[in-house]
Structure 1
Amino acid sequence: MRRRLLVALLFPLAVHAQQAKQRFTSLSDATQASAILGGRSGPRRVVWLDGGNRFSFIGANAQTRRPEIRTYDPTSGRDTLLFTSEGLSLPGSTRPFDYVSFQFSRDFRNLVFQSNFQQLYRRSGTSDFYVYSLSPKSLQLAGKGARTAELSPDGALLGEERGGDLYVVDLASHKETRLTSDATESVYNGHFDWVYEEEFGLAQAWNWSPDSRRIAFWQIDESKEPVVQLTDYSGRHETWDRIRIPQPGDTNPIAKIGVVDVKSGKRTWLVPDLRGEYYVPRVYWTSRPDTLAVVTLNRRQNEMRLYFFDVNTGGARQVLRESSDTWIDVYDFYAGVQDLLSFPEHSTEFYWVSDRDGFQHIYRYDYSGKLVKQVTSGQWSVTRIEGVDPANRLIYFTSTNPSPLERQLWSVKFDGTGLKRITTAPGRHDIDMSPNAKYFIDSWSSTTQPRQVELWSTTSGKLRTLEANQQTTQWLATHEYAPTELTSFRASDGTKLDISLVKPVPFDPTKRYPVVFAIYGGPGSQGVYNSFGTSGWNQWLAQNGYVVVNVNNRGTNNYGRDFMKVVYKQLGRYESMDFAETAKWLKTQPWVDGDHIAIMGTSYGGYSTLYTMEQYPDLFSVGMANSGVADWRLYDTIYTERYMSTLDDNASGYEQSSVVSNAPKLKGHLLMIHAMLDDNVHPQNTMQLLTAFTNAGKNIDLRIFPPGHHGSAYNAESARLIAETQWDFLQRWMKSPRTVQ
């Protein structure tokens, strides 16, 4: 009896202790928690040195919190201060010196700093570049207002592009040499127009040759592209930003590849034997010093050709030609993979990651274009080649083996044998490998493990933990947290769909909860991983009684070619179908309020939200679309025609995928958010959709943020207001949880 009484007395205390964890008192608290949940990412701006035997990184001084450059020796664990800007001023002024990135010369006698960055497009902007001599210590301006600058491989020269022309600066003599002088307002050398930069993923349109003798560069002619105008309506008389951006059916930029000798100034043009419109998305210096590899894509982006050019004569030979019934990717924006082709140094072979057998795998070619070996195979995808070890004839790569929800590091021999898994902890691993493939930094997490940053040797295993994120662990011990749950189901046509759930805290299975789909869904992306949930917004929704859902819908990557490329020429169809299938499955769960399901997203997620609400109006009663495409005829050429083909080839597909054309189907409550300086999804999208909704008698809510760019927020206050507006909209139209009858 006494034991029962003691248990009875203690049980409420245990329940009280369990419930004593802190909850958010405001949405602002929740959004700020994202930084804590995300944790520190370990060493910042890592640069591998000595071929990969050491690395440098930007750290923060413990007392002043100012950035400083440090070097780290993986073998000894020695951490050494190399550079601090403490007490250093800009030349000729008292203004403290500050920087955003740095480069080392090969002899480690000089550092080149990028400072005073002024953004232009997503990846580019203008900067001032300074050379800092480590001995004697001195700081000198080497380039003002340049878009890009890069040290030559031998460390003797600094190449720059500014004003549409190329220059080199001799670091020893400080002499500047101009390499090109034919730039105009619409024809320029060494930088891209908007659409090339945005959709092919590069900001620097020039590359040093490995022997430092030449620079290969793009010359872009944007003169026939149409002009887009944007303004934030500030001042008495608004001013307009004018950017040339082609839409489907418009004239594209014309790209030429040139090679200039940095000593003689001799320029050679490299012209592929092609007719009609084509893109040049990539160039690569091969291991042969006089040979440049040039990749071309036709306008529909379903035929790729690889040429080897003799840079002395301009002579070319075609090495590889690949065609597809859908599209061919040359890089992977979402996986952070700049190049699906790679040309290892000191090798006369190259590698291509292709989905030609249905999954992304490594193919090994010799310089004649002969396929030597398909190195990997299986019902999984290679996502990135991380490193090559020629001495041991090993390739290191990350892949979706054993699950598309994970990223694991593997190695395989050049001949395809000896497949070996390197990372073993379940989760999503992001690898930064040294050039000599001796070491790698592994940043990883899982649904149950906050981010860990570890240093590994490829031969002897884990060396040490660089960042354990104890702050995140401590926060979790004192705060309510709803973990990400992973599950899957079969759609009505048998397709398996992986989804993630963040359930209310505390969760009561005898109650019904409203649902919010927080989605993106665009081609090649992925939203659901076995990784730690870091969204404070999702946690806020969970603490307020909502189930938050995400889906790896058809069109997303890493489930095989057919799963992703089924969306070709019909964007919106399968994405919305899979969101609807997920909603139907959720409605069968006893803890879901199937009458109250919302959907929200930004950019392609905004398009997915709009199109899904129109196609499945009886499933999704509330939607919130930020910066959403309304009609693919209003988006840019390279992205849109990659997935939708050209207007003359797929007119009906463009019409069927249009949110504007389907406006009369809308039934639910819709909030639209957009900014007037959005150069990615032009406000024209929202304005045309507003007219279509008005003509169809549909009443929607709208928030405009004039100074904002893509995503709408332009400062902390606007970001807070966007979140609060979305929250108020949900509360207005979504009912509170109710007990199951």
Structure 2
Amino acid sequence: MKKYVWSLLLVGSFAFAQKFTIDETVMGPRKYAPTTLIAHQWKKDSKAITYISSDYSNLIEKNASNAWKESVLLTKSELETALKSKFPTDEFSLRTFPTTISWITNTIFETEISGKTSNYKISFDVALKQITNVISYPAEGSQAKYTKNNQVAWLKDNNIRISLAQGKVIEVTNDENKAIVNGSDYVHRQEFGIHSGMWWNETGSKLAYYRKDETMVGDYPIINWNEREAINKNGKYPMAGMTSEHVTLVIYDIASGKKVTLQTGESKEQYLTMVTWDPSGKFIYVGVLNREQNHLKLNKYDAQTGAFVKTLFEEKATTWVEPQHALMFVPNNPTQFIYQTDFYGYNQMYLYTTEGKLLKNLGFKDVVVTNVLGFEATNTKLNYIGTANNGLDRQLYQVDLKSGKSIQLTSVSGIHNSSVSSDGTMVLDQYSNATTPNEISILNIKNKMVNTTLVKAENPFVGKIDLPKIELVTLTSADGKTPLNGRIIYPSNFDATKKYPVMVYLYGGSHAQLVTNRWLSGAGYFDLYMAQQGYIVFTMDNRGSDARGKKFCEVNHRQLGVNEMADQMEGIKFLKSKTFVDTDKIGVFGWSFGGFMSTTLMTSQADTFKVGVAGGPVIDWKYYEIMYGERYMDTPQENPEGYAKASLIDKAKNLKGRLLVIHGAQDPVVVQQNSMNFIEACIKAGKQVDYFLYPNHEHNVSGKDRIHMYAKIADYFDTHLKK
């Protein structure tokens, strides 16, 4: 197995520096945050940026015309004065200047503010110091979707309401059965890139929305223990291989009040995603994915009748097809759109016509597109953030739609969060890497040189915290073919002649990456805390994790846990080759998929791992939900051997070390049935196991209770591994 040292972060000790407290495992990221600009962004149609002052009281501007000097554009007091002149004086109580503003012209921004009686979307002119437009809906509403003509669709429980500009409210749906859910973004459990449940057409005359029928899905009990008599709050949880929800797409016409349902096919157990209106409003596009998740059709429908028009193209796979992004139409060209897919190996962009003809592959090398930023001024080039350096970095790229060629606009190795000015001449670039806490600059696109540096943050730990040494390493996967990214955090006052216990922190599942070339190399404060307590803390992103392309992930199809564990054991070989590692004291900690991995390693590699902590663990994939579970494992009926091999219930008998299982008592994601069945299996096998529930918490433990959780985990390792 090859191993390479990639980079090293070494911070010297200071006479007055100290270790993190257990409270700082949770509070530390805010307390020791590097200097930055809050909510920084380009002002539209200008060579100026704006951001919120560090005390959250002012909107600040820096402009190229005055050498990027700072000036106050608007104060919180001025905004409050404008609000009081428009609304009752007690309607708003602004604690800070709103941070979620977006510029629609070079003088007008939009922001959303919640009042006592209503929620508001406000347009504010900073030149006139006044509110120019207001759209509102009742405070009880949620998931609002606005139009350009002052209409807003919103949800009241499981039904849709539309507030019109003149104050009238339309009741679009009135389903009394709570198992009929309209307009919600919680459809297909928000897999397949779903983050909205309602879509307006360009003119605001029609609203498309999801109608989810869950009546055929069994009720799953979630107990609230806080009441005088505990209350059962049933939820809908379609488990792998069982009956799924039935989802349709409906279009509501405001003028006529009529609804049409898109004719998406006979199969009721399918997935509808990538919902996109045609710019003309005459058609709507939908990605129709079969329940098996291996056959996607991009279909075009008539928005007036709901009739199927044509299938533009299809994607079929022996593993899975996973649509994640709505279509993006080319501005000023309603016959062309951008489609994102990882079907050909990496999530990249493709230019299509509305008749389904592929015009150009806009992909670049093995770059995985992580964020599409939008078009530059001429609408002929598209800016995006993508991966580099084997997934460790994020860089800014620009692709020319005519030639299909991409160029890289940022160059310093690290994680870049960048945007391009409206005129396409400058980049507002923010980045960090293993040795750079935070740097924000203005770059010249033409020569890619730094025009001016706005922020160059100092190390926030100097003189306060004796930060452990962090090292990025490259290992090789179990098949000997693929480089894997790893991270070692060394104990404080590390002495290579001594032997140290190890805590492996891992996740291992899809759509997550723990090791990156950012500040602290992606490490969490609990990782740093444990290193300061005398542990080697090791993390590696095995095959199956994010940002490395589809082939990197799909090796796990129908056999979750197999290749992930094999790769993690390569990491263990690497650790065992180090003279400073106590090979008799190796432990593992992970949450969710990481909890599944921790329990898998504790039961399948029982001679290696002496202590484990599994938070919210999947124990048997037949207890997990359909949309995620069946993508990777197919159904239990189709893949009984794979489910049996991945199940940890019958592996409880193999447990040798000390295992702490933690679960949120109201977990609706990985339901408690998983851990309860594992505990029962341990009892039957005569195996001692520790179990801890966090009441009133769902899939993770948040707030101050998270400090309690980290203290418990640290104590568990200290008691059973360190001593």
TM-score normalized by the length of structure 2: 0.87
Tell me which residue corresponds to 1:186.
179
- Which of 473, 489, 501 is equivalent to 2:475? 489
1:611 Cα offset (Å): 1.0
CA contact (8 A) 2:364 2:405 kept: no
1:310 Cα offset (Å): 2.1
1:145 to 2:154 alignment? no
Q: What amino acid sits opposite 1:34 in the alignment?
A: P
Tell me which residue corresponds to 2:211.
219
Going from structure 1 to structure 2, the CA distance change for 1:377 and 1:546 (only over 3 Å counts) comes to same
Tell me which residue corresponds to 1:580.
569
Q: Distance in 2 between matches of 1:675 and 1:155?
A: 44
Q: Distance in 1 between matches of 2:226 and 2:673?
A: 19
1:96 to 2:93 alignment? yes
Q: Distance in 1 between matches of 2:531 and 2:580?
A: 14
1:234 to 2:229 alignment? no
Going from structure 1 to structure 2, the CA distance change for 1:392 and 1:428 (only over 3 Å counts) comes to same
CA contact (8 A) 1:446 1:530 kept: yes
- Which of 485, 506, 520 is equivalent to 2:507? 520
Say which SS state the counterpart of residue 563 (structure 1) adopts.
helix
Going from structure 1 to structure 2, the CA distance change for 1:436 and 1:109 (only over 3 Å counts) comes to closer
Tell me which residue corresponds to 1:113.
112
Tell me which residue corresponds to 1:7.
none
Q: What amino acid sits opposite 1:412 in the alignment?
A: V
1:329 to 2:322 alignment? yes
**Range with bigger deviation, 538-547 or 477-486:** 477-486
Q: What amino acid sits opposite 1:23 in the alignment?
A: Q
Say which SS state the counterpart of residue 494 (structure 1) adopts.
coil
Q: What amino acid sits opposite 1:590 in the alignment?
A: T
Going from structure 1 to structure 2, the CA distance change for 1:560 and 1:658 (only over 3 Å counts) comes to same
Tell me which residue corresponds to 2:371.
384
1:482 Cα offset (Å): 2.0
Tell me which residue corresponds to 1:205.
197
1:670 to 2:662 alignment? no
Going from structure 1 to structure 2, the CA distance change for 1:94 and 1:404 (only over 3 Å counts) comes to closer
1:628 to 2:617 alignment? yes
**Range with bigger deviation, 234-243 or 140-149:** 140-149
Q: Distance in 2 between matches of 1:188 and 1:422?
A: 44
Tell me which residue corresponds to 2:15.
20
CA contact (8 A) 2:104 2:110 kept: no
CA contact (8 A) 1:304 1:328 kept: yes
Aligned CA-pair RMSD: 3.2
- Percent sequence identity is 25
1:130 Cα offset (Å): 2.7
- Which of 698, 702, 706 is equivalent to 2:691? 702
Q: Distance in 1 between matches of 2:421 and 2:273?
A: 26
Q: Distance in 1 between matches of 2:153 and 2:686?
A: 58
Tell me which residue corresponds to 1:544.
533
Q: Distance in 2 between matches of 1:94 and 1:386?
A: 35
Tell me which residue corresponds to 1:307.
299
1:480 to 2:466 alignment? yes
1:160 to 2:160 alignment? no
Q: Distance in 1 between matches of 2:425 and 2:210?
A: 34
Going from structure 1 to structure 2, the CA distance change for 1:72 and 1:341 (only over 3 Å counts) comes to farther
Q: Distance in 2 between matches of 1:54 and 1:162?
A: 40
Q: What amino acid sits opposite 2:272 in the alignment?
A: V
Q: What amino acid sits opposite 1:220 in the alignment?
A: K
CA contact (8 A) 2:59 2:72 kept: no
Q: Distance in 1 between matches of 2:220 and 2:707?
A: 29
Which runs of structure 2 are paired with 1:40-59 in the superposition (5 Å)? 42-44=37-39, 50=44, 59=52
Say which SS state the counterpart of residue 727 (structure 1) adopts.
helix
Once the two structures are superposed, residues 296-347 of structure 1 have per-residue CA deviations (whole angstroms, 9 ceiling, x without a partner) of 111121111111122123232111110111112222xxxxxxx264333323
Q: Distance in 2 between matches of 1:150 and 1:18?
A: 52
Going from structure 1 to structure 2, the CA distance change for 1:601 and 1:340 (only over 3 Å counts) comes to farther
Which runs of structure 2 are paired with 1:402-421 in the superposition (5 Å)? 402-416=389-403, 418-421=405-408
Going from structure 1 to structure 2, the CA distance change for 1:501 and 1:300 (only over 3 Å counts) comes to same
1:343 to 2:337 alignment? no
Once the two structures are superposed, residues 561-590 of structure 1 have per-residue CA deviations (whole angstroms, 9 ceiling, x without a partner) of 222110011111111111112111210111
- Which of 120, 130, 144 is equivalent to 2:120? 130
1:695 Cα offset (Å): 0.8
Say which SS state the counterpart of residue 687 (structure 1) adopts.
helix
CA contact (8 A) 1:72 1:80 kept: no
Tell me which residue corresponds to 1:124.
none
Say which SS state the counterpart of residue 145 (structure 2) adopts.
strand
Q: Distance in 2 between matches of 1:247 and 1:25?
A: 42
1:159 Cα offset (Å): 2.6
Q: Distance in 2 between matches of 1:434 and 1:94?
A: 36
Q: Which has the higher contact order (CA 8 A, sep 6+)?
A: 2
1:167 Cα offset (Å): 3.0
1:636 Cα offset (Å): 1.0
Going from structure 1 to structure 2, the CA distance change for 1:523 and 1:110 (only over 3 Å counts) comes to closer
CA contact (8 A) 1:248 1:646 kept: yes
- Structure 1 residue runs without a partner (length 5+): 1-16, 118-126, 332-338, 737-741
CA contact (8 A) 2:18 2:464 kept: no
1:449 Cα offset (Å): 0.9
CA contact (8 A) 2:281 2:303 kept: no
Q: Distance in 2 between matches of 1:457 and 1:274?
A: 54
1:565 to 2:545 alignment? no
**Range with bigger deviation, 615-624 or 402-411:** 402-411
Tell me which residue corresponds to 1:271.
263
TM-score normalized by the length of structure 1: 0.85
1:425 Cα offset (Å): 1.0
Q: What amino acid sits opposite 1:26 in the alignment?
A: T
Q: Distance in 2 between matches of 1:400 and 1:721?
A: 36
1:399 Cα offset (Å): 2.4
Q: What amino acid sits opposite 2:15 in the alignment?
A: A
Q: Distance in 2 between matches of 1:417 and 1:200?
A: 27
Say which SS state the counterpart of residue 732 (structure 1) adopts.
helix
Once the two structures are superposed, residues 13-38 of structure 1 have per-residue CA deviations (whole angstroms, 9 ceiling, x without a partner) of xxxx9551512263224543333444
Tell me which residue corresponds to 2:722.
735
- Which of 588, 601, 614 is equivalent to 1:612? 601
Going from structure 1 to structure 2, the CA distance change for 1:352 and 1:104 (only over 3 Å counts) comes to closer
Going from structure 1 to structure 2, the CA distance change for 1:643 and 1:42 (only over 3 Å counts) comes to farther
Q: Distance in 2 between matches of 1:556 and 1:52?
A: 40
Tell me which residue corresponds to 2:673.
684
Q: What amino acid sits opposite 1:489 in the alignment?
A: L
Q: What amino acid sits opposite 1:27 in the alignment?
A: I
Q: What amino acid sits opposite 1:320 in the alignment?
A: F
